Structure 1
Amino acid sequence: MDKETEMSYIGLFADTAFTHLMQKRIQSVLLISSSYDAFMLEEDGRIEEQIFNEYVSLNLRYPPKFIQVTTAEEALETLENESIDLIISMLNIGGMDPYSLSKTIKSTHPSIPIVVLTPFSREVSLKLKDQDTSAIDYVFCWLGNADILLAIIKLIEDEMNAESDILEVGVQSIILVEDSIRYYSSYLPIIYKIVFNQSKKFMSEGLNEHQKMLRMRGRPKILLARNYEEAIQLYKKYKLNLLGVISDVSFNREGKKDIEAGVKLALQVKQDDIYMPFLLQSSDLNIAEKAKEMKVGFLYKYSKTLLQELKSFLKYNLAFGDFIFIDPKTQEEVGRVSSLKELQEKLFEISDDSLRYHFQRDHVSKWLKARALFPIAEVIKNLKIEDFESLEASKKFLYNTIINFRISKGKDVIAQFYPDRYDKYVKFARIGNGSIGGKARGLAFLNTIINKNALSLNFENIDVTIPRTVVVGTDIFEHFMDKNNLYEVALSDLSDEEILDHFVKAELPSLSETYLKKFVSVVNNPIAVRSSSVLEDSHYQPFAGIYSTYMISNTDDIDVVVKQVGDAIKCVYASVYFKSSKAYMTATMNIIDEERMGIVLQEVVGHQHENRFYPTISGVARSVNFYPIPPEKAEEGIVNVALGLGKQIVEGGVSLRFSPVYPKKALQLSTPEFTVKDTQKYFFALNMDNSSFKPSVNDAVNLLRLDPKVALKDGTLRWLGSIYDYQNNVIRDGVHYKGIPLISFANILKHDAFPLAQIVKKILQIGQKEMNQPVEVEFAVDLQNAEGRHVFYPLQIRPIVEGEETIKEDLKSVEVQNHLVYSGTALGNGIINDIVDVVFVKSKGFKAANMVKMVPVIEKLNQEILKAKRNYILIGPGRWGSQDPWLGIPVKWPQISGARVIVEAALDDFKVDPSQGTHFFQNLTSLRVGYFTINQSIGDGLIDESFLLQQHTLYEDDWIKHVQLSSPSVIKIDGKHGVGLIEYPE
């Protein structure tokens, strides 16, 4: 088989649409019986309860309701007033015999199946032969077991759904040919019991409880034929989806009893398919020899072990139970598997002779079909060993096919984490039953839309997929808090370090170690331990960047790594109660006691270089560009990318900004001066020395801050690098020159070495369409994947929510000089009229070298204003929240969480681009914080600092002043046109 053909088989799998199966159901049953017969059926409990218990024990849903009446008149009246799907009548009913009643019912309700249930006796059998049973669909014997009711209901449902489920979806079937009421009344409950128990086993192929229940619908259908013509008709119609046939020998053929009808049927079936399982059962022992000659099974009807022998045939010949590999010469067992995962794992252990024997007889595909694994079964059925150059090649193909199917099955699904079945093909799993939190919910949604739009995200030699992820539910957090009595400590005024110490010393729930050990054993890369709180990344109050994220290098003994992951989980839990988190909760009017923390355990994207690990690219893309530079348009979006871990971007460090529509027109690369000055000067990587991680309030405890020259050595600048030739003052794209290495992304943005702009543009379009509002997407890219394929990893999606208030007046036409603050580049929307506090950095005597020293002062003022239950206007130079202390005051969001309006002002000798830090921006926009940028020296807006300096002073030092206005100032922001102003107080 050539490679192209092979890839076409294992390329795309669409798992079965189980929701489309079993569409027609028996929901209500009318039981017509005397009080005595009803009592006999019920014994010591109600029929409905017995059926319900039977359904529950077999993991079945939708048990029907029973309406019991005692007379024909009551039955006819009920049919007029109730919707009935099935009628079961006993022989002894009041007012009319069941045969006449059946005819009467059929005349007005021809589509309702009617079953007559009789006690078993020779006299009853003889009596039935003399009656006109043409209006009765089936007659069954009551043998003292309520299982018969379940078998009747399921037989009728199978008949109703057979054509669509078998022919359209590929569900398998078993044909039972039997005209003896006594025997099919015995066989059917047993067959159904075995089928349902088998279905409970193949439920394990489902990745979560919902999937498991749906897979039950894919069980084989049981079809009953009571004469030769019915049997042939069913066989011809469904033979391509047939597991096997169980047939009597003597039954009607062409209207007459034919003592060899079953033999003739067996010959017909074997002629078409020599390997089709066929079981003859007869009261004539002489048939046994004939069955042996035809190579079909045989059951003696008078055998004391008849039902046990029937069970054995179903289990071993109709692909039920485990798949048993046998040695074709000795017929001895040489291997056994009970799941698709086990088949994959043991495939290369099976001998060639055994595999060839089972392949030639389609045993593997039959077994898979019996387990409702139809797509992969169909591929295997249609491929023969002769198609491959060797048996080893066919094994490899089967192995790859199973992998591909299991990967496709895991897409778009949050699987339940089952330690015994978890492996690298499960993409997204959850531990616990609580909420998975906002971040995990966003990731799950991202996973769904990626798979939903797989065709439009199909780029050559590039995979678009989320990293392997396990989510720990919020119920584990609650159990952890309660078990260790941590709420008192958490809600106290202890320092962050003291709170962290209490959390790290506490014990995680007992099963955690088992689950974590399994996860760690599967993951090869480092592990990120991220927060996913119930409030995080919600539509209106995102908590992006408020809680901690820790990374574990995963390079030590598994027990050591498990302990470190456990400690990191405790650190994230503790971060809910750190001082900054509590301040943020207060600012957002949330109650800290309501917060619940989920955990995202995620494989870190990237590649290892000596003692460091990092992705080639980290980035954040937004579908709305709040600062469009012509020819960019606001609705075309904006992207920020950086080399290394995403900490560089999300905390406001220097990154490269470009429009996905105009990737070659990045402002930062427009001149050599801009490129040298405004591109990334360092990058972050994870320290792979396992001892570098220690539980700490600082979640960056084991991160390395590295020079681009390190990336040049690692080979990652191959795609991202340029060289600054300082002697000639030119930038040369590529890294094969002498000079200073720069992180310019030139080969990607200018020369399309990787279609980053196209992928991001498509992801943003899909995300905005699916969320029905502007979105922000975090991502990482690995261009050094060990398998030779580039991988684009979307990491998170969040909504960007704009304010709902609208400004009626035209702010562009106002007199600029009549306002305290005016900006022609403003972000936000609406009117704020309750602020009297202003905190600002004085322009006189400003030095960039002092910005780090300003942070604790601003934090203290923020806390005091919040404590007084007020908000304030914050004004300062450069980028608020910048990680680079030379670009702006490096505050974190919680340190300025009380600000309702933030102003970034350029000074004559200090001008930088506006803030682009992801977490800063996300909280800014979604919390409806006004954001102004001003550059008075070029006529772009104004700040009347002299007025502010004259206001009532609450605090002042060499750099910062906190003043209080005489009355609230009215703040107006027109988000549509990007204009904002602050009026003078009245």
Structure 2
Amino acid sequence: MLSKLKLNLLYLKDTQFANLMTRRIFNVLLIANPYDAFMLEDDGRIDEKIFNEYTSLSLRYPPRFTQVSTCDEALTQLKNMTYDLIICMPGTGDNEGFDVARTIKAAWPSIPMVILTPFSHGITKRIANEDLSAFEYVFCWLGNTDLLVSIIKLIEDKMNLDHDVKEVGVQAILLVEDSIRFYSSLLPNLYKFVLKQSQEFSTEALNAHQRTLRMRGRPKIVLARNYEEAISIYNKYKNNILGVVTDVRFPRTERGEKDGMAGIRLCAAIREQDPFVPLIIQSSETENMTYASKYGAAFIDKNSKKMDVDLRRIVSDNFGFGDFIFRNPDTMEEIARVKNLKELQNILFAVPSESFFYHISRNHISRWLYSRAMFPIAEFLKPITWNTLQDVDAHRQIIFEAIVKYRKMKNQGVVAVFKRDRFDRYSNFARIGEGSLGGKGRGLAFIDNLVKRHPEFEEFDNARVAIPKTVVLCTDVFDEFMETNNLYQVALSDADDNTILRYFLKAKLPDRLVEDFFTFFDVVKSPIAIRSSSLLEDSHYQPFAGIYNTYMIPYLDDKYEMLRMLSDAIKGVYASVYFRDSKAYMQATSNVIDQEKMAVILQEVVGNQYGPRFYPSMSGVARSLNYYPLGDEKAEEGIVNLALGLGKYIVDGGLTLRFSPYHPTKVLQTSEMEIALRETQTRFYALDLSNCGHDFSIDDGFNLLKLHVKEAEKDGALNYIASTYDPYDQIIRDGLYPGGRKVITFANILQHDVFPLPRLLQLALKYGQEEMRRPVEIEFAATLSREKDKTGTFYLLQIRPIVDNNAVLDEDLTAIPDDRLLLRSYNSLGHGIMNDLYDIVYVKTDHYSASNNQKIAWEIEKLNQQFLDEGRNYVLVGPGRWGSSDTWLGIPVKWPHISAARVIVEAGLTNYRVDPSQGTHFFQNLTSFGVGYFTINAYMNDGIYNQDFLNAQPALHETEFLRHVRFERPMTVKMDGKKKQGVVLMPEI
């Protein structure tokens, strides 16, 4: 019995179709007298005919023909240019054509040479007396350009056969025929059929590029002209023969004498080795039909007027081409028919046992898969025969699981074209439209491909690595939406955000998308995130992180209600391109808003449902560069911020658990009980499944719930994630215990390795950074199983580059005397030198109260706008955490409100101690633009903040809360990112 284990070990390696058919014929030299050449062209250009023939069969690279009519011209051409094939047409009356051919062959023995003779009785007789051993093949011209395609393909097949069979197990069809007249008409027929079939099966490919490549995996055709050649080809490739078509009478001894039974002997020899390989006998002697039935072969009468039709039909039925037909073994009636892998998978368990047994005991299924170039799965199923398994249901199960595994593998790392009949639960990533995927879309496609190429991600028993199911509406859908609804005028105007959103919501998306969305709903069956993926977002040098909106919608059974929510969300994301903050940001980064185009990502939301709410066990952000290394941590080992619930909590600068994936057991926040209790996550975000988005707003978090961690405990979502504080023993215990406050420590995952999160993050950061060739930031989420079986799925949501400013800084900043400094931080973020800053804006500390933080934010926004208008930058100093959405933790500015600041300083006050800001997008924008970020607590002797000096300078602008000082000479800023030190020097007076 085939154990389940074997299937789990089945690592289906993807077929590299690009490595197949690598040897091609690009240039053909045609030697023919002008009359024959004219007959051959039949008043039309040969290149054009071949080109049309190639394009109708979706073939690439049609060869170029050069035509000459004498031996001398041919030799001149051969000296000046490289040819891959020579076709020689000896004229009807002269024998010298053959001599010319032999002369050329002697001079250029390595170039394959084919003789093409016009068909007439005279020539057939003459050929009989010629020595043709110098030539690869002799063909008979019957006035059909198909023959030229067949000649080229036959020789290409011969050149590539050995390599392609070894590489992936490409199949071969063996044609045994010695009559030039017959194989000249059979081959075009066979090739046309095989190429047409491969066009059909290439629809299994997920996009146009893959489709073209897949055609390289089509079966090859090999021609044998005598018994010895046929048997040696069969023996060499017997594991890869799709079927054999043979004549009966052909030469069988070294002397070349014909044997009237050669074909029958060949069938007998093959049947001894393989009882199931399909055989087709063709003969003009009908008595050979009895032999055909003896060896289980199909028979074709060569005298029949419809011989080609018969051949096509029998090859299609027997060699695994076309649809797979399940038949009743007694009556041979059709029971079911499948067109592709998905249909086969769906019907496997419904086919009656006797029909299923009939097909598997004859290798029909693996042959069908081979003919469709699905080598990994065909290869796996071929040895599992009836003799090895003897159990129909186990066989069904194995085929089903192999198909599932193959389809998952094929879908991973590929941007498929969205097809309604093809998109199902094994689909991973598809696109609607022809435009760009945008920044986030590209990042997702890249990370999906990265996971596929590194099998190490597969080696965890209790963790699966994936990206959520994703469909991208490409940028051309955005263009169409904007143009058909005439939205540019209002979008680029100074209208406020609400007005712009109202216009966008009233507009109409293209109707053709409706059915696509319904298909997506059916497959995903979970809440959907609608995320922005603009052209400029997450681009390598100027990441636009967190500027545009991301909406989430719940999953409903009423698909029309869902369609309404989805359409509103897509329009909301489109509208956010033109919101005030986005325009300010565009201005700050010197981009032109007209050039911004928006793709939209529709993606299943990662998480579990708990009653009316939905959220993941954990979400986080990992960065491969850690400018806050603590203890043994190294800057290049990276850093992770982890939280319970949806990732918006991290983006908004909430309290997260910070750890290095290489030192998961050493977590600063949980090292002391007091810190652990004070610095733990107390709230989390969940999607409200009961909110149907009737009050759709510019705030993309309108349907998110901000809940207390106690709620997650009630949901049963804290297994392995929380520890319990025991107030009696004054200790925090890893795990959930009754009573006592729950602390989000992720201790069972980080300390006790219940789920391999640190190792997965190490891999993702390592490969992400290696392949992007620069530091990266990765967003992820994970869901742990509701059963307590310690399994889970790790989802990669996004990867983007952190643009690292490697300004050279060799100076020891500690050597600079304090009296020359305005600011010194021993906990700074950023790297490099700036010496063009004249302005400093700081929050006054006398009578400061956190209750005024919102007012201070508005004042800063106004000042920042002035700086932008004047094209100036400044240093910004204030208490607490910048960019926090919680006004008690710090001043709630958004990035566009302080986008002209080049250095931002968190200056602690004695009564106001907040940890350095870690809001993801905030952080991301700091690093992208090389903005310095200093944390100073001067009252704790942690750094210097020379406010007395600033207070003594005249203010250019002063309000109740702020002072703005401008110097005549610039301040100099120096930051050492690896040592986490930063200074701002006083201007030289």
TM-score > 0.5 by shorter chain: yes
Q: Which residue in the other structure is 1:487 paired with?
A: 488
Q: Which residue in the other structure is 1:533 paired with?
A: 534
Q: Which residue in the other structure is 1:921 paired with?
A: 923
**8 Å CA contact retained: 1:32, 1:71:** yes
Q: 1:981 aligns with which of 979, 983, 986?
A: 983
Q: 1:848 aligns with which of 841, 847, 850?
A: 850
Q: Which amino acid aligns with 1:770?
A: E
Return structure 1 stretches of 4+ with deviation > 4 angstroms: 93-96, 386-389, 785-788
User: In structure 1, what is the Cα distance between the partners aligned to 2:909 and 2:120?
Assistant: 104
Q: Which residue in the other structure is 2:914 paired with?
A: 912
User: In structure 1, what is the Cα distance between the partners aligned to 2:691 and 2:315?
Assistant: 54
Structure 2 stretches of 5 or more lacking a match? none
Are 1:708 and 2:722 matched, yes or no?
no
User: In structure 2, what is the Cα distance between the partners aligned to 1:20 and 1:453?
Assistant: 19
Give the superposition deviation at 1:796: 1.6
Give the superposition deviation at 1:222: 0.6
Cα distance change on mapping 1:294 and 1:385 into 2, 3 Å: closer
| Deviation per residue, 1:415-458 (Å, 9 max, x gap) | 22222211111212222222211112122222222222222662
3-state SS in 2 of match to 1:605: coil
Q: Which residue in the other structure is 2:89 paired with?
A: 90
| Deviation per residue, 1:101-136 (Å, 9 max, x gap) | 222122221121211112212222112112222222
3-state SS in 2 of match to 1:982: strand
Q: Which moved more, 1:358-367 or 1:500-509?
A: 500-509
Q: Which residue in the other structure is 1:61 paired with?
A: 60
| Deviation per residue, 1:533-554 (Å, 9 max, x gap) | 1111122211111111111112
Give the superposition deviation at 1:966: 3.6
User: In structure 1, what is the Cα distance between the partners aligned to 2:864 and 2:881?
Assistant: 18
3-state SS in 2 of match to 1:704: strand
Q: Which residue in the other structure is 2:834 paired with?
A: 832
Are 1:267 and 2:268 matched, yes or no?
yes
Are 1:859 and 2:845 matched, yes or no?
no
**8 Å CA contact retained: 2:84, 2:111:** yes
3-state SS in 1 of match to 2:738: coil
Are 1:563 and 2:557 matched, yes or no?
no
Q: Which residue in the other structure is 1:594 paired with?
A: 595
Cα distance change on mapping 1:282 and 1:662 into 2, 3 Å: closer
User: In structure 2, what is the Cα distance between the partners aligned to 1:845 and 1:740?
Assistant: 36
Q: Which amino acid aligns with 2:876?
A: L
**8 Å CA contact retained: 2:628, 2:980:** no
User: In structure 2, what is the Cα distance between the partners aligned to 1:133 and 1:7?
Assistant: 53
| Deviation per residue, 1:667-698 (Å, 9 max, x gap) | 22222221221101100000111514643200
Q: Which amino acid aligns with 1:798?
A: R
Give the superposition deviation at 1:733: 2.5
Are 1:160 and 2:159 matched, yes or no?
yes
3-state SS in 2 of match to 1:833: strand
User: In structure 2, what is the Cα distance between the partners aligned to 1:2 and 1:19?
Assistant: 33
Give the superposition deviation at 1:363: 0.7
Are 1:894 and 2:893 matched, yes or no?
no
3-state SS in 1 of match to 2:902: strand
Q: Which residue in the other structure is 1:107 paired with?
A: 106
3-state SS in 1 of match to 2:654: coil
Percent identity of the aligned residues? Answer: 52
3-state SS in 2 of match to 1:914: coil
After TM superposition, the structure 1 = structure 2 runs for residues 146-225 of structure 1, keeping only pairs within 5 Å, are 146-225=145-224
Q: Which moved more, 1:631-640 or 1:840-849?
A: 631-640
User: In structure 1, what is the Cα distance between the partners aligned to 2:520 and 2:43?
Assistant: 49
Q: Which amino acid aligns with 2:780?
A: F
**8 Å CA contact retained: 1:71, 1:95:** no
Q: Which residue in the other structure is 1:544 paired with?
A: 545
Give the superposition deviation at 1:727: 4.7
**8 Å CA contact retained: 1:70, 1:93:** no
Q: Which residue in the other structure is 2:297 paired with?
A: 296
3-state SS in 1 of match to 2:99: helix
User: In structure 2, what is the Cα distance between the partners aligned to 1:428 and 1:533?
Assistant: 17
3-state SS in 2 of match to 1:620: strand
Q: Which amino acid aligns with 2:930?
A: R
Q: Which residue in the other structure is 2:359 paired with?
A: 358
Q: Which residue in the other structure is 1:238 paired with?
A: 237
Are 1:409 and 2:410 matched, yes or no?
yes
Give the superposition deviation at 1:921: 0.7
Give the superposition deviation at 1:757: 2.1
User: In structure 1, what is the Cα distance between the partners aligned to 2:809 and 2:24?
Assistant: 57
Are 1:878 and 2:880 matched, yes or no?
yes
Are 1:426 and 2:427 matched, yes or no?
yes
3-state SS in 1 of match to 2:768: helix
User: In structure 2, what is the Cα distance between the partners aligned to 1:943 and 1:381?
Assistant: 75
3-state SS in 1 of match to 2:911: coil
| Deviation per residue, 1:614-671 (Å, 9 max, x gap) | 0001111122221222233322222111000001111211111122233232222222
3-state SS in 2 of match to 1:541: coil
3-state SS in 1 of match to 2:61: coil
User: In structure 2, what is the Cα distance between the partners aligned to 1:282 and 1:191?
Assistant: 17
Q: Which residue in the other structure is 2:517 paired with?
A: 516
3-state SS in 1 of match to 2:347: helix
Q: Which amino acid aligns with 1:47?
A: I
Q: Which residue in the other structure is 2:656 paired with?
A: 655
User: In structure 1, what is the Cα distance between the partners aligned to 2:729 and 2:962?
Assistant: 43
Cα distance change on mapping 1:227 and 1:750 into 2, 3 Å: closer
| Deviation per residue, 1:128-180 (Å, 9 max, x gap) | 11222222221111111110100000011111111121244211111111111
Cα distance change on mapping 1:115 and 1:785 into 2, 3 Å: farther
**8 Å CA contact retained: 2:938, 2:944:** yes
Give the superposition deviation at 1:976: 4.0
Q: Which residue in the other structure is 1:75 paired with?
A: 74
Are 1:815 and 2:817 matched, yes or no?
yes
**8 Å CA contact retained: 1:724, 1:741:** yes
User: In structure 2, what is the Cα distance between the partners aligned to 1:326 and 1:396?
Assistant: 20
**8 Å CA contact retained: 2:827, 2:936:** yes
Q: Which amino acid aligns with 2:882?
A: W
**8 Å CA contact retained: 1:556, 1:690:** no
Q: State the aligned residue count.
A: 985
After TM superposition, the structure 1 = structure 2 runs for residues 247-396 of structure 1, keeping only pairs within 5 Å, are 247-254=246-253, 255-385=256-386, 387-388=388-389, 390-396=391-397
**8 Å CA contact retained: 2:363, 2:385:** no
3-state SS in 1 of match to 2:198: helix
**8 Å CA contact retained: 2:627, 2:830:** no
3-state SS in 2 of match to 1:199: helix
User: In structure 2, what is the Cα distance between the partners aligned to 1:672 and 1:282?
Assistant: 91
Q: Which amino acid aligns with 1:222?
A: I
Give the superposition deviation at 1:522: 0.8
User: In structure 1, what is the Cα distance between the partners aligned to 2:752 and 2:727?
Assistant: 23
User: In structure 2, what is the Cα distance between the partners aligned to 1:426 and 1:852?
Assistant: 46
After TM superposition, the structure 1 = structure 2 runs for residues 564-583 of structure 1, keeping only pairs within 5 Å, are 564-583=565-584
Give the superposition deviation at 1:21: 1.0
Cα distance change on mapping 1:669 and 1:162 into 2, 3 Å: same
**8 Å CA contact retained: 1:503, 1:570:** yes
Cα distance change on mapping 1:814 and 1:5 into 2, 3 Å: closer
**8 Å CA contact retained: 1:33, 1:93:** no
TM-score normalized with structure 1 length: 0.97
**8 Å CA contact retained: 1:325, 1:336:** yes
Cα distance change on mapping 1:330 and 1:900 into 2, 3 Å: same
Q: Which residue in the other structure is 2:766 paired with?
A: 765
Cα distance change on mapping 1:97 and 1:567 into 2, 3 Å: farther
3-state SS in 1 of match to 2:915: coil
Q: Which residue in the other structure is 1:962 paired with?
A: 964
Q: Which residue in the other structure is 1:27 paired with?
A: 26
Give the superposition deviation at 1:339: 0.8
Q: Which residue in the other structure is 1:671 paired with?
A: 672
User: In structure 2, what is the Cα distance between the partners aligned to 1:677 and 1:727?
Assistant: 18
3-state SS in 2 of match to 1:653: coil
3-state SS in 2 of match to 1:776: strand
Give the superposition deviation at 1:231: 1.2
Q: Which residue in the other structure is 1:140 paired with?
A: 139
**8 Å CA contact retained: 1:615, 1:782:** yes
Are 1:645 and 2:646 matched, yes or no?
yes
**8 Å CA contact retained: 1:971, 1:980:** yes
User: In structure 1, what is the Cα distance between the partners aligned to 2:113 and 2:767?
Assistant: 53
CA RMSD of aligned residues (A): 1.9
